[in-house]
Structure formats: C-alpha cells, structure tokens
Amino acid sequence: MSRLVINGYHRKNRINKNIYGHFTEHLGRCIYEGIYVGENSGIPNEKGMRKDVVSALREIRVPVLRWPGGNFADEYHWMDGIGTRSERRKTINTHWGGDVEDNSFGTHEFFELCRQIGCEPYINVNLGSGRVEEMQKWIEYMTFAGDSSLTRLRKKNGQEKPWKLKYLGIGNENWLCGGNMTAGYYADVYNQFQTYVRSYGEESVYKIACGPLDDDYEWTDVLMKKAANNLDAISLHYYTYPGVNIEGQKGESIKFGESEWYHTISQSLKMENLIRIHTGIMRRYDPKGRVDFIIDEWGNWYNPEPGTNPGHLFQQNTVRDAVTAAANLNIFNQYSDRISMANIAQAVNVLQSVLITEKDKVVKTPTYYVYDMFKYHQNAILLDSYLETEEIGPEADRIVNMNHSVSIGDDGKLNITIVNFSADTSYDIECEILGGKADEAEAFILHGAMNAHNTVQASDCVKKVQFYDYKMTERGIDFEIPPRSVLLIRL
C-alpha cells in the first residue's frame, strides 16, 4: 500500500492555465487539412476553420496557441500572408519537405482561429532571417489603434479594430536553424530586437527569448547575464527521442516493446531535472524570480509513419504518449511557481498531436484525453502533497513507478492526477487529506495496452472512462491504479 498525503493547509501558487498551451506550425498537415480547409471546402467550417477541430480544442480549454513556428517562423515574412488570398506570394517551405506555401493562412486567419477557440495568441517573430523593421511593422499592423498607413492596410484587409497580442517570441531555435548563433551573439541581437517591441495597447507585450535546447546550461547562463532585464521569459525546447541510440533512429510510434516503453518514459522524465537546473541558473541573475520559464516545444518525437512524407512528421499516438504527456503536465504543475507556459508539439497531425484528421474525419488521440482530464488544473491552486514511490524498470532505465499533482479549484473541488508508469503492476493507494474531508468523488481513467491507439476506423480504442475502483474513508479516499494508466480523481 502506497500513501498519498495531501496537505490542505498548505496552498501554494496558482497553476498558470497556459501550461496547457499548444503549438501550431506550417508543417505537414497541421495547418492545411488539419485546421484550415478554406471557406469553399465541403468539410464544415467557419471562415475556413474546421468546425470539428475547433470544437475539440475548445472542449479541452486550450488557453494559448503558438504560431507560425517553429522552424517555419525563421523564414516567415508576415506581409506574404495578408491581403487577397489568391494574390498572396507562394514561397517554399524549406524546413519541412520543400512544400510550396501559398500563405492562405496568415495573420488574419490565425487571430480568427484564436477567436473561435477562445485562446490567447502567441506569435513567434522572425529573428533568424528577418529584420527589426519587419517585426516592428507587424506589431503595429496587429495592435495599433491609431491612424497609420499600416492600420489602414489592416482595415482594408478586413480587421477594423486592433487585435490584442500579449505573448511575443523573439526568435526560435537560434542556436541551430534560427541562425546558428552563439548564446552571446543571440543575446545581443535579442536586445536589439526587443528595443523596438512597442506596446500599443493597455497591456504590455510579454517578451519571450529563445532559450536553450535540452541541457545547454551555458546558453541560459549567458542569456540571463546579458539580457535578463529585457525579457519576461525564456523558452526551453525538449523532445523525447526514445530510439535515438538505435542506429540513429528516433524509434517507432506503434511497434515497440517493454524496453522502449521504459526508455521513453525515463527520457521524458528528464524534463524535471532540466527545469530544476535551468531555473536554478536563472535565480543567480534574478533572485526574485521575475523572469518566467516556458517550455514552448515539447513531446515525443518518433520516426514518421511508414508511407507518409518524412518531412511532414506524422506519427501515431498511443497509451505510451498519454502516459508521458500526463507525467510532464504533473511536473509542470509541481514547478508552476516558475513555469508560466508550455506548448506541446503539435496540435494536429504532427508529432505528439492531440488530434488527427483524415479528410472529413477527426480522431482524438490518447494525448487529447489527457488534456481533457487535466484541464481542471488550469488556474487552480497547487496543494502541497507527497506520494510514496518506488523504483521500477530495467537497470539502464530505472524510473519512479508513479508521479502526481494535486490542486484545488475556485469551485472548491480537489483535483488529483496520478500516472502509473509500470507496464504490468497495479498499486493500492491510501490517500489522506489534511485540513479537509471529502464526502464524494468523481473519477476518470485512461489506460490500455502500451501500443493501443485510435484511428479513423477505430476511434475509441483509447479514451477516458469513468473509474469506480475507489472507497471513501474518514481520512480521504483509497483506490487501486492499474498499470499503464492516467487517473483523475475529483473530490
């Protein structure tokens, strides 16, 4: 019997809802076919946006959406994506398969998508191949309410009032595809660019600097040393490559066994150490913790599915992905005093997507149902809690058997999320609540075979279902969590 102790007396920080954010890029079928089909499509749409996709994203309360990339942002020039669609420039998407980009989805379409979803826009500007003037004019076009040539152009293109834009990323992966810059050089260029970020609305623009890849702690150190006073947050990119040591491949998304199961989870759980060390470095230069930490690209990255365009990064999504998604969201919750946003890659049809589309059909992936279960943590108060764990797995990939987080919402309900990483063992848990007493519970679980996944032909193989294997007690609640599962209990 493992013990879970929840200290209701110790309310910590509020969990920023933007931890549950998403990422969209002009990559493969993410935007086109996945989100945007055009107003003349036979697929039901509103102003070109797929109604089924928008509805599904609204259901999980997507709070913030990052666009246009990603690598695509480093070659994106916003003027290509405004005006009459048939007259927009056609460009080459050199990063992702060499597709011809017709720019029919641009600034106006992105803000319309955010309006339909009900989320905040997060725009990543082009520092890699762009210019300061280009960024400055884009911000004016989007957010200035006065009378200028650019605002007249915006009105001519159909948007009378300025949009509200809070989140602005300045550069993307500038240590590689965004210019092959050193940390010091990027910090200097960032300082130049951010100087010309004007806040035309009532709210100041929240400036996000390109942070490190994985464990590049020197990048964080140099960036904080040279630019900490000029930024609001720095971003981390961390992907899990479960097969990286197998002939240089990233591994398969469906065809894997128990060893790959544990290796993937062990790699994914490294996220916690990355957060701890990077934020520790940030504290040296920012002892009051003013600068936030963001993980605006994360998730599992496998070999593309056989028979698909390798440049489109389409992969399937299994119970393994649900488990690692839940594990990371629990970690983000536990460190939500420093993390202000996270954006899983990517929303539709690319990498660890929450949705997969095929013509007029949409499939909710196992990862989607994790976001549906965890949405109750958004803006809730993190509670102090402790879960007894043990080590499991093969010697090379020893991991804890479970992780968790607990919050209390403004509705007074307690939200407990627990992940069981074991491939074959269930655990009995005795939960004690200090400072409160629960009189009723509602619970949901997602579990199944490690390779189980959803397709158009079988869309409900993996989904959340109600969970009844619990017993209310004087102390709190006792329950058994099966292997390979994600559990939500609301008290």
DSSP state of 145: -
The DSSP H or E segment spanning 215 is none
pLDDT at 439: 86
Identify whether 297 is a catalytic site residue: yes
The Cα 227–Cα 405 span in angstroms is 33
Q: Which residue in the block uniquely carries the two structure tokens 């004007």?
A: 198
Q: pLDDT digits over 26-60, tens only?
A: 999 999 999 999 999 999 999 999 999 999 999 99
Identify whether 140 is a catalytic site residue: no
Cα dist from 337 to 148, 293, 357, whole Å: 41, 10, 36
R_g of the chain, CA atoms, integer Å: 22
- Helix, strand, coil shares, percent, the chain, to 5: 30, 30, 40
Q: Model confidence at 248, in pLDDT bands (50, 70, 90)?
A: low
Q: pLDDT digits over 278-307, tens only?
A: 999 999 999 999 999 999 999 999 999 999
pLDDT at 153 over 90: yes
Q: pLDDT digits over 325-356, tens only?
A: 999 999 999 999 999 999 999 999 999 999 99
Who contacts 303 (Cβ-Cβ below 8 Å, separation ≥6)? 243, 249, 250, 251, 252, 253, 315
pLDDT at 247: 60
CA atoms within 13 A on the CB side of 166: 13
Q: Model confidence at 216, in pLDDT bands (50, 70, 90)?
A: very high
The DSSP H or E segment spanning 319 is helix 319-334
The most distant pair of C-alpha atoms in the chain lies apart, rounded to whole Å, by 69
pLDDT at 127: 97
Class of domain 2-8+383-490: mainly beta
Class of domain 16-378: alpha beta
Q: pLDDT digits over 2-22, tens only?
A: 999 999 999 999 999 999 999
Structure tokens, 392: 């499991």
Q: At 391, which amino acid appears?
A: E
The DSSP H or E segment spanning 233 is strand 233-240
DSSP state of 89: P
Count how many residues are written for the chain: 491
Q: Is 94 helix (H, G, I), strand (E, B) or coil?
A: coil
Are 2-8+383-490 and 16-378 in the same CATH fold? Answer: no
Asked if 235 and 174 count as a contact pair (C-beta separation under 8 A), the reply is: no
pLDDT at 246 over 80: no
Catalytic residue among 173, 252, 260, 305: 173
Q: Calculate mean pLDDT across residues 190-212.
A: 96
248: alpha, beta or left, given left = phi > 0 and alpha = psi -120 to 50? left
Q: Spell out the domain ranges in the chain.
A: 2-8+383-490, 16-378
Number of neighbours of residue 428 by Cβ within 10 angstroms: 11
Catalytic residue among 297, 390, 432, 442: 297
